[in-house]
Amino acid sequence: MPVTFYSWEDSGAPQFKVTNNVSGAYQTNIIEIMDAILINGYGSKTALGWTKLMSSDVAGSDRAVYQNVSAYSENMNMIIQSTPEILGGISVQIADVVNSPEVYTGYSDAVSIRPSRPFGTSLRWFAVGDERTLIFILSDSYSLDIGVSDWDYYYISSFYAGDLIVQDPAAYPRCWALIGTGMYAKTLDTIGSAANDKGFLNFNYAQFAHSLRCRPFTQIPDEAWSTDPAMVYYPSLESIPNFSNNNDYLIRFLDEYPDQAKVRVPYYMAINHVNVFRLRGIYNMFPWLTNCDGNNFSTRNWAKVFTVDGTDYMAFFRDLNWGDSYYSPLTVYLQISGEWG
């Protein structure tokens, strides 16, 4: 099934809103947005074809449960809500058994994300996916529009929920995961916080095979369920510091990039040095596109759509903590048209 790309800029798209509920906690309309993306569609955009299993009966709650149409023998249950303590924050968790939005077992780490600068800005969102996998992006107008001189403080946060690709599907009845820029070994009832890290998939420092201790699965393959963290790596095409500010490896202008991009390498997720899965729709591309253009550092190159060989992509910012940070490469590219396999 072809993937569909959704944006707050689409005609008829719901806009991200934050209100204060009766207890004074923050609440967003994330369920309205999820319903539009996953269940109902809007304007000319059709929905991804997931199922809405249930909504919370708890007064003041906006928690709901959605289920994908997995390629594997079991479907994934995704629970999502506002993060009440965080202006504009949203929290997500996946679980094997869901009795109600408040009662579930066999769960992953939770993902809780927030916009970098919600105060005095409009909140923005993007999404792309199919019946199997959803990638959701949360931002604010400041992070998308400000001059690059402030780029090091404001980021786009995001999560990936749904199927992975594995060589032996029969061995993995629950071959799906939840990954995000803020992961917490808690439940939605105890999380109480939200993160906005420097990029996508919880990357930090070295691009290649970054290690992270977290629990993106509801059940690690070949193990009984537990809340113990796993060692997780996200390898792809490696970028190293001496590439920064080198025109042989970096393209600084977005309008030049489609003709220059030559190599596309998917991202993988390795668990405990044993199980290896491929992420759907996420790639690194070479040469790399820079964080900003080559004129005056005032124009960002991330979160903009461009086409390479007839396929649309959106590049995501990553901070590699290099000296020439304006020209650090964008190393996460979402495929937003065609099929993910």
pLDDT of residue 322: 45
Give 198's pLDDT tier (boundaries 50, 70, 90). Answer: low
Of 245, 273, 261, 247, which Cα lies nearest the Cα of 310? 261
Task: At 230, list the tokens.
Answer: 């796993």
pLDDT for 145-162, tens place per residue? 765 556 566 778 899 999
pLDDT for 28-43, tens place per residue? 999 999 999 999 999 9
pLDDT of residue 90: 95
Q: Please state the domain extents for the chain.
A: 4-8+15-335
157: left (phi over 0), alpha (psi -120 to 50) or beta: beta
**Cα 316 to Cα 222: distance, rounded to the nearest angstrom:** 33
Strand ranges of the sheet holding 211-214, from the earlier edge strand across to the other edge: 211-214, 230-233, 263-271, 275-286, 332-335, 311-316, 305-308
pLDDT of residue 196: 76
pLDDT of residue 329: 81
| pTM for the structure as a whole | 0.94
Query: Is there a cis peptide before residue 287, judged by omega within 30 degrees of 0?
Result: yes
Of 147, 178, 145, which Cα lies nearest the Cα of 277? 178
Of 277, 231, 272, which Cα lies nearest the Cα of 72? 277
